[in-house]
């Protein structure tokens, strides 16, 4: 209905009287038509004028109301582009405390880092709802949040519509087999993801088939981390076909699984046919000499792989030498890591003698970390390095073992170790300690709150130690210390 129509209807009388027979007495008292004609004409004009004026006034009032509603000069609430308000409202509805760093990152950052915040299924719902709106976040980091399959389902639904997130870290979330089914569904529907971390999620052999099938024709995903799961030789058979068929993956991490020599052969078969993979991490498995030999043959025909990590695979002298034979024809491999394997002086000497025979070697790094060789081998190693400019050969203990380099006193490391000792003495974790400092439960504290918390806990740190500790913990310089910043700094300083 138009404005004119509304005004027209409002100007009409409420009802029209039906004709009726008059009372004779009333009719007698009624003035004659002639005597009242002039006055009747005047009254009629006044009535018409009054009705018209009222209609005009009402129309103007209605137009004023419409102008008020549509007035663009009034500052209206902007669209919630960041998803910040959506996140806050969802937190209230779900009964969870908003995380301050989440609010800040939603508003202005491209990375949403909620690592080790213990979100659980309930806490991740507001995050997923916010990311249905936010189009600025490109990296979503959620490791160590105990999401389980229930929590991940919300992320999976969000990823169906989200076209901006290119990196997703879901490591250490106990997704298990049901979670793998949701991962597969996400890979089918999402069109933006290029980096996916699924490490440490309790996946088993049977989970590999659905994943491998989903990845065979996926040309978008470039980086995939499947480390620290329970994949073994059966999974290697499924992954072999996926590696051979996939043309998008460039970085594949299969470290810390249960691949043995049979699995190594399967993976080698796929690698020999792969046209795109640049980096492959198979460290901390159990490939042994048979697996290493198969991989050496595959590398002979592979012309794209740049780096392979075979550290700690129980590879002996035979397997190590067979690996090096790939360099007769391989002109792409630049980094070969075979540290923590069973290589002695005799086998190392044979390896150096073989490398001396090769010309035009593309290898830039031969990493034999934590393999102890005698000083007698050093001249042979130097000869190989002299023959191949730019080649670095590493062997012996790394800094994390017996031969530590002399380093200056690290005040922050010492402070963190004192805090760890305090927690051990009081039967609490670092999370428990941080929670005591965090009054509002946001997993983020100001510098003053952190100082006060240390003081109330009576942790024996000097003023200088506290100042340096705060400076190193506030990694993004926003004036607050997030729990994730404490976790990351602790890992960097102490390795715990």
Those residues whose C-beta lies under 8 Å from the C-beta of residue 87, and which sit 6 or more positions away, are 98, 102, 103, 106, 126, 127, 129, 130
pLDDT given at position 272? 94
* Model pTM score: 0.68
What would the two tokens of residue 464 be? 């200088």
Helices (H), 162-260: 176-189, 207-216, 233-245
Average pLDDT, whole number, for the chain? 84
Per-residue confidence band for 409, with pLDDT thresholds at 50, 70 and 90? low
State the average pLDDT over residues 256-275. 96
Q: CA nearest 149: which of 132, 118, 170, 130?
A: 170
Report d(CA 356, CA 431) in Å as an integer.
54
Decide which of 285 and 34 is more confident: 285
Those residues whose C-beta lies under 8 Å from the C-beta of residue 20, and which sit 6 or more positions away, are none
Decide which of 398 and 271 is more confident: 271
Report d(CA 270, CA 272) in Å as an integer.
5
pLDDT given at position 223? 98
DSSP 299-327: HHH--S--EEE--SS---HHHHHHHHGGG
Decide which of 15 and 46 is more confident: 46
Residue 239 has pLDDT above 70, yes or no: yes
Per-residue confidence band for 220, with pLDDT thresholds at 50, 70 and 90? very high
Residue 16 has pLDDT above 50, yes or no: no
143-198 tens-digit pLDDT: 999 999 999 999 999 999 999 999 999 999 999 999 999 999 999 999 999 999 99
Residue ranges per structural domain of the chain: 1-6+43-76, 203-396, 411-494
Topology (CATH level 3) of domain 411-494 = Recoverin; domain 1 (1.10.238)
Percent of the chain with pLDDT over 70: 81
Report d(CA 143, CA 436) in Å as an integer.
23
Those residues whose C-beta lies under 8 Å from the C-beta of residue 14, and which sit 6 or more positions away, are none
Terminal C-alpha separation, the chain: 71
pLDDT given at position 78? 61
Q: What CATH homologous superfamily does 203-396 map to?
A: Ribonuclease Inhibitor (3.80.10.10)
Report the DSSP beta bridge partners of residue 32.
none
Lowest mean pLDDT among 63-77, 158-172, 186-200, 458-472: 63-77
In this structure, what DSSP letter does residue 115 have?
T
Q: How many CB atoms lie within 10 A of CB 442?
A: 18
pLDDT given at position 403? 42
State the average pLDDT over residues 113-142. 95
Q: Do domains 203-396 and 411-494 have the same CATH topology?
A: no
In this structure, what DSSP letter does residue 442 have?
S
């Amino acid at each position: 209905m138009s404005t004119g129509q509304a005004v027209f209807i409002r100007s009409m009388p409420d009802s029209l009287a039906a004709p009726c027979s008059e009372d004779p007495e009333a009719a007698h008292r009624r003035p004659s038509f002639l005597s009242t004609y002039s006055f009747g004409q005047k009254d009629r004009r006044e009535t018409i004028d009054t009705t018209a004026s009222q209609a005009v006034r009402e129309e103007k009032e209605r137009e004023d109301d419409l102008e008020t509603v549509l007035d663009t000069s009034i500052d209206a609430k902007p669209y919630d582009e960041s998803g910040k308000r959506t996140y806050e409202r969802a937190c209230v509805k779900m009964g969870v405390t908003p995380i301050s760093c989440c609010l800040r990152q939603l508003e202005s950052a491209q990375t949403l880092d909620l690592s080790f915040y213990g979100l659980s299924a309930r806490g991740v719902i507001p995050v997923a709802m916010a990311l249905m709106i936010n189009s600025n976040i490109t990296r979503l980091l959620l490791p160590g949040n105990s999401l389980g399959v229930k929590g991940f389902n919300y992320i999976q639904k969000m990823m169906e519509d989200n076209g901006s997130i290119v990196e997703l870290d879901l490591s250490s979330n106990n997704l298990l087999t049901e979670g793998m089914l949701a991962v597969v569904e996400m890979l089918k529907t999402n069109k933006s993801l290029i980096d996916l971390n699924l490490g440490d999620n309790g996946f088993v052999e049977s989970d590999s088939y659905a994943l491998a099938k989903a990845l065979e024709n996926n040309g978008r995903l470039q980086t995939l981390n499947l480390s620290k799961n329970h994949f073994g030789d059966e999974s290697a058979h499924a992954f072999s076909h996926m590696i051979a068929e996939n043309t998008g993956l460039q970085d594949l991490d299969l470290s810390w699984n249960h691949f043995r020599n049979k699995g190594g052969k399967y993976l080698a078969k796929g690698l020999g046919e792969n046209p795109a993979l640049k980096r492959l991490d198979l460290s901390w498995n159990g490939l042994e000499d048979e697996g290493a030999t198969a991989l050496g043959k595959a590398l002979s025909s592979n012309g794209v792989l740049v780096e392979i990590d075979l550290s700690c695979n129980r590879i002996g002298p035979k397997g190590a030498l067979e690996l090096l034979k790939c360099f007769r024809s391989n002109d792409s491999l630049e980094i070969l890591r075979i540290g923590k394997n069973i290589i002695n002086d005799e086998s190392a000497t044979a390896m150096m003698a073989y490398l001396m025979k090769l010309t035009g070697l593309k290898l830039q790094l031969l990493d034999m970390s934590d393999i102890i060789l005698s000083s007698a081998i050093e001249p042979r190693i130097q000869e190989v390095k002299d023959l191949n400019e730019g080649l670095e050969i590493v062997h012996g203990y790394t800094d994390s073992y017996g031969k530590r380099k002399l380093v200056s006193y690290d005040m922050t490391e010492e402070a963190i170790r004192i805090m760890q000792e305090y927690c051990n003495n009081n039967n609490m974790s670092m999370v428990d300690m941080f929670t005591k400092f965090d009054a509002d439960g946001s997993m983020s504290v100001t510098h003053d709150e952190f100082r006060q918390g240390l003081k109330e806990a009576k942790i024996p740190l000097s003023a200088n130690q506290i100042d340096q500790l705060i400076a190193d913990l506030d990694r993004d310089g926003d004036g607050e210390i997030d729990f994730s910043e404490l976790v990351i700094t602790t890992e960097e300083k102490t390795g715990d």
